[in-house]
Amino acid sequence: MEYPEPTVGAIIFNPDNKVLLCKSHKWNNKYIIPGGHIELGEKMEEALRREILEETGLEIYDIQLISVKESVYNKAFHEKKHFIFIDYICKTDSYNVVLNEEAQEYKWVDLREIDNYELGGFVKTLLMELRNKRDSKYKTEIFYGY
């Protein structure tokens, strides 16, 4: 029996307030935020810390839930999958990224520069809303798919 796959992702800010984007062959060689699957018995934040460490070598902190999004058989992904994306914003004190085989390159990007990058999945919408929220005098939470 098949089920949707719960995954976690991180919008990681470095000390210069730039966001980590990783180019992935799984998303048509577009930039995405790092993350991965939640394992059975693993709490979401534990999965997030593990996935980020595995994929980038970064330690993260100040973790806050920012969005929940569903992706059903998105053609941008290299396989036919049904994902539940649970995304967080967080911080790191490091600039040193060590990628594993899931990404081919990375960039630290100011949110004002995201229009200059080909972003995969719903990452562009998420980052644009975060950018607009940060620039806005009105502070609202971002939750998708409720």
Q: Is the pLDDT of residue 58 over 90?
A: yes
**pLDDT category, 111, cuts 50, 70, 90?**
very high
Q: For 13-52, how does the pLDDT look when each residue is reduced to its tens digit (9 = 90+)?
A: 999 999 999 998 877 889 999 999 999 999 999 999 999 9
The fold of the 5-135 domain, in CATH, is Nucleoside Triphosphate Pyrophosphohydrolase (3.90.79)
Q: For 75-96, how does the pLDDT look when each residue is reduced to its tens digit (9 = 90+)?
A: 655 566 787 889 999 999 999 9
For residue 83, how many C-alpha atoms fall within 13 Å in the half-sphere facing its CB?
Answer: 24
For residue 137, how many C-alpha atoms fall within 13 Å in the half-sphere facing its CB?
Answer: 0
Q: For 60-76, how does the pLDDT look when each residue is reduced to its tens digit (9 = 90+)?
A: 999 999 988 877 766 65
CA–CA distances in Å: residue 61 to residues 10, 56, 64, 108, 140:
11, 14, 9, 17, 22
Is the torsion defined by CA of 92, 94, 97, 98 positive or negative?
negative
CB 60 within 8 A of CB 48: yes
The model's pTM is 0.85
